[in-house]
Amino acid sequence: MECILPDVSESPPEELEAPQLHSQLEEEQMVYRHLEDTMKKPSIVGVLCIDSQGLNLGCCGTLSDEHAGVIFILAWQATKLTYDLTDMPVVCLESDNGNVRGQKHNGITEAVQKMVS
């Protein structure tokens, strides 16, 4: 299964200097490796990383761009249910076939979909 990073080549940001471009490429490679490593775990069929504005940073498997907004909002709203600012709640949507868990941490929201084995 191939992991996908969003194609931003059609609307590149303002001119980036070499150090900025290098840093951006390193971040993309790190996200891609994280997606691939997560998908190697047993029963995981999808993973999605979302930035602090709700935009897809990368996805793999059954989770895609179309899920980013909903998962982002659920994870963001869940943080309002705790008074402890260091507490990062996990949102879990369960069905008979499996579950999707989403959590916001350090400005990044990650969702993982598992199937019942």
Indicate whether this model's pTM tops 0.85.
Answer: no
Q: What percent of the chain is modeled with pLDDT above 90? A: 57
Place of tokens 């969702």: 111
Residue 7 predicted with pLDDT over 50: yes
Q: Are 102 and 91 in contact (CB under 8 A)?
A: yes
How many residues are given for the chain? 117
The residues, ordered by sequence, that sit 6+ positions from 46 with a Cβ below 8 Å of its Cβ are 59, 60, 61, 62, 63, 100, 111, 112, 113
pLDDT digits (tens, 9 = 90+) for 26-50: 888 888 899 999 999 999 999 999 9
pLDDT-based confidence at residue 113 (cuts at 50, 70, 90) = very high
Separation of alpha carbons 17 and 31, rounded Å: 21
Residue 23 predicted with pLDDT over 90: no
Q: Are 108 and 48 in contact (CB under 8 A)?
A: no
pLDDT-based confidence at residue 85 (cuts at 50, 70, 90) = confident
Average pLDDT over residues 78-102: 91
- Selected residue with higher pLDDT from 20 and 72: 72
